[in-house]
Amino acid sequence: GENVEQHPSTLSVQEGDSAVIKCTYSDSASNYFPWYKQELGKRPQLIIDIRSNVGEKKDQRIAVTLNKTAKHFSLHITETQPEDSAVYFCAASILGYALNFGKGTSLLVTP
Amino acid sequence: SAVISQKPSRDICQRGTSLTIQCQVDSQVTMMFWYRQQPGQSLTLIATANQGSEATYESGFVIDKFPISRPNLTFSTLTVSNMSPEDSSIYLCSVGGLGDYGYTFGSGTRLTVV
């Protein structure tokens, strides 16, 4: 089955700096790669996703890149703000089937 | 995207008892997914529930412990049976992955077994 590795497990940045979280996946059949943000006590919220026919996608301060050959994808957050502090999860799946999650990255943005 | 109502939101249960968690979706979906999130951990898939057939369980999860019902295309239940403190977790249902929409999650059930 699919195995998703996520790094780093914790990340601390200064407000205004950029944050990058990286994930690798094992199943070349996976074609959908979402990123979720989870705040304490809340459900995961989708922040951005990318499909295998696209190499990069951007939404304001958030971007995701995908390298299908190397089987890795990354989340980039620019101009970080304290409210970006949360746990971020990457996932991979074949669309319509269950998501396989990475272990998560705890992001702390300090003022 | 679909909206999921999940209940209960939290419960404290005695060991040896069972709890049934319900998820109601506002649209018809073929597959529903049940996840467990242990404290400080990631989401782990318990099973995939298809309407009209038995759920498919992941390694480490068995039907006797986590029976699932899927009576129609908008509703599913997960029961946590014969609970022990190790079952204390957040349980989430999820749907999605079709069309232009991503996956969405229910609000979760925070279970504490004492």
Strands A10-14 and A105-110, how do they pair? parallel
**SS3 call for A51:** strand
Distance from CA of A20 to the nearest CA of B (A): 19
Q: How confident is the model at residue A84 (pLDDT cuts 50, 70, 90)?
A: very high
Mutation for A interface: B1, B3, B43, most A CBs within 10 A: B43
Chain segment B65-108, per-residue pLDDT in tens: 999 999 999 999 999 999 999 999 999 999 986 666 678 999 99
- Taking only residues 32 to 91 of chain A, the set having a beta carbon closer than 8 angstroms to any beta carbon of chain B reads 32, 34, 43-44, 46, 49, 89
Q: Do A49 and A73 touch, CB atoms closer than 8 A?
A: no
Closest listed residue to residue B70, CA positions, set B92, B55, B91:
B55
Q: What count of other Cβ atoms lies within 10 Å of the Cβ of residue B99?
A: 9
Indicate if the pLDDT at residue A32 is higher than 80.
Answer: yes
Location of structure tokens 């997960």: B78
Residue B100, pLDDT score: 60
Vertex A77, ends A32 and A95: CA angle to 5°? 5
Chain segment B27-67, per-residue pLDDT in tens: 998 899 999 999 999 999 999 998 888 899 999 999 999 99
Chain B residue set in contact with A, beta carbons under 8 Å: 30-31, 33, 41-45, 48, 92, 94, 97-98, 102-108
Q: Do B87 and B95 touch, CB atoms closer than 8 A?
A: no
